[in-house]
C-alpha cells in the first residue's frame, strides 16, 4: 500500500489514495499502522475517496490512531489540500471536500498556507453531544475534590474547552482522559486547555479523543477561539499558539462561518506491506 506522510504544526497524518477502493482498513490494521515503533506512526489516517455528491470535489474519511472513525479534523483538511495539489489530483485553488458529517471548503493561499471554512460553531449541548438538563453559559464537573469549569462547542466534532492560568503545569493527560471517558459525553470529547494572553492571543494544548495530547489540533484551536469570541474576551481574529506553532482563527460570531488559516507540510512518500 502506498501512502504519504504529512504534518500540520507537528500534528501528523498518513494519507492514502483510495479513489479506486483498493483498501478496506480494519481497526486493528489502523492501530498497527499508527504505532510509532512498529508501524508508520501518525495521529490520524486520512482515506481519500471519490466525491459522494455534486457539491464536493472529493470525499475523505478520518481515523484516529486507535482505529476509530471521526467526523472532522482541521489540520487534516489542510494536509489533504496539500496532498491533492502535490499529487496533481486537482488544479483548483478552492476545493470542497466532504467528511462524515459536513462539507469543508479549503482555499490554497500559497505553496503551504491554507484557509479552511470550518462552518458555523454549534454550542447547543445536543449538537456536541453533551448530556445536561440545562443550557448554561459555563458548565462545571467535580474532579479530585474541586470543580473544573468548561464550555462545549462542535465544529463537526465535539470539543470542551477549559480555561487555565498556567498551561505548562496543567495535567493535560490526567484531566483530558477523565473528560474523554466521562459518561456525560456519549461520543467522547476532545479537551482543550486554553491560557489567555490578550484579546488576540491564546495558548492552547489539546487532548484528542482516541489519540491523547497532540502537537496541534486545528478544530481544537477553532473551538477555543470560538468560545473566547462568544464570551467576548477574545477579538474576532485570534492567534492560537499551540505546541507545534500558530493557527489563525477568524470568526464574526453568531451564525457566521468560522475560518482557520495555517500551514501544512509534506514529509515523504512510502509503501508498506499490510
pLDDT in tens, 146-200: 999 999 999 999 999 999 999 999 999 999 999 999 999 999 999 999 999 999 9
248 neighbors 232 (Cβ within 8 angstroms): no
Residue 153 shares a structural domain with residue 98: no
79 is catalytic: no
40 alpha-carbon distance from chain centroid: 20
Q: Among the options 73, 79, 160, 222, which is catalytic? A: 73
Residue with cell 482557520: 260
Q: Domain total for the chain? A: 2
What's the rounded Cα separation, in Å, for the pair 115 and 109? 7
Residue 110 shares a structural domain with residue 133: no
Residue 105 shares a structural domain with residue 136: no
Helices (H), the chain: 27-34, 74-86, 172-180, 218-230
Between the alpha carbon of residue 115 and those of residues 75, 138, 247, the distances in Å are 11, 30, 10
- Cell of residue 129, nine digits: 453531544
Residue 99 shares a structural domain with residue 152: no
Residue 32 shares a structural domain with residue 139: no
Q: Among the options 79, 160, 217, 222, which is catalytic? A: 217
**CATH number of 111's domain:** 3.10.310.10
What's the rounded Cα separation, in Å, for the pair 161 and 244? 19
Q: Which domain holds residue 226?
A: 125-256
Residue 192 shares a structural domain with residue 232: yes
Residue 133 shares a structural domain with residue 33: no
Residue 95 shares a structural domain with residue 151: no
Q: Which band of pLDDT confidence, cut at 50, 70 and 90, is reported for residue 240?
A: very high
pTM over 0.75: yes
pLDDT in tens, 244-272: 999 999 999 999 999 999 999 999 999 99
160 is catalytic: no
Residue 64 shares a structural domain with residue 150: no
Residue 35 shares a structural domain with residue 61: yes
Amino acid at each position: 500500500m502506498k501512502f504519504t506522510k504529512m504534518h500540520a504544526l507537528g500534528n501528523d497524518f498518513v494519507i492514502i489514495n483510495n479513489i479506486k477502493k483498493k483498501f478496506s482498513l480494519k481497526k486493528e490494521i489502523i492501530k498497527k499502522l499508527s504505532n510509532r515503533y512498529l508501524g508508520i506512526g501518525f495521529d490520524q489516517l486520512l482515506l481519500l475517496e471519490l466525491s459522494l455528491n455534486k457539491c464536493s470535489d472529493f470525499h475523505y474519511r478520518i481515523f484516529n490512531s486507535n482505529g476509530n472513525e471521526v467526523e472532522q479534523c482541521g489540520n487534516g483538511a489542510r494536509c489533504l489540500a496539500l496532498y491533492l495539489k502535490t499529487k496533481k489530483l486537482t488544479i483548483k485553488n478552492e476545493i470542497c471536500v466532504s467528511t462524515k458529517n459536513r462539507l469543508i471548503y479549503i482555499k490554497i493561499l500559497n505553496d503551504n498556507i491554507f484557509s479552511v471554512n470550518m462552518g458555523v460553531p454549534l454550542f447547543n449541548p445536543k449538537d456536541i453531544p453533551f448530556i445536561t438538563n440545562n443550557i448554561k453559559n459555563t458548565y462545571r464537573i467535580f474532579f479530585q475534590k474541586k470543580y473544573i469549569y468548561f464550555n462545549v462547542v462542535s465544529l463537526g466534532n465535539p470539543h470542551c474547552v477549559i480555561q487555565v492560568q498556567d498551561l505548562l503545569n496543567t495535567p493535560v493527560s490526567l484531566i483530558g482522559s477523565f473528560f474523554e471517558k466521562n459518561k456525560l459525553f456519549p461520543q467522547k470529547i476532545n479537551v482543550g486547555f486554553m491560557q489567555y494572553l490578550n484579546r488576540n492571543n491564546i495558548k492552547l494544548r489539546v487532548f484528542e479523543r482516541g489519540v491523547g495530547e497532540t502537537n496541534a489540533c486545528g478544530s481544537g484551536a477553532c473551538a477555543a477561539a470560538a468560545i473566547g469570541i462568544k464570551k467576548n474576551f477574545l477579538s474576532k481574529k485570534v492567534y492560537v499558539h499551540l505546541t507545534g506553532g500558530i493557527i489563525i482563527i477568524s470568526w464574526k460570531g453568531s451564525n457566521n462561518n468560522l475560518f482557520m488559516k495555517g500551514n501544512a507540510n509534506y514529509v515523504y512518500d512510502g509503501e508498506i506491506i499490510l
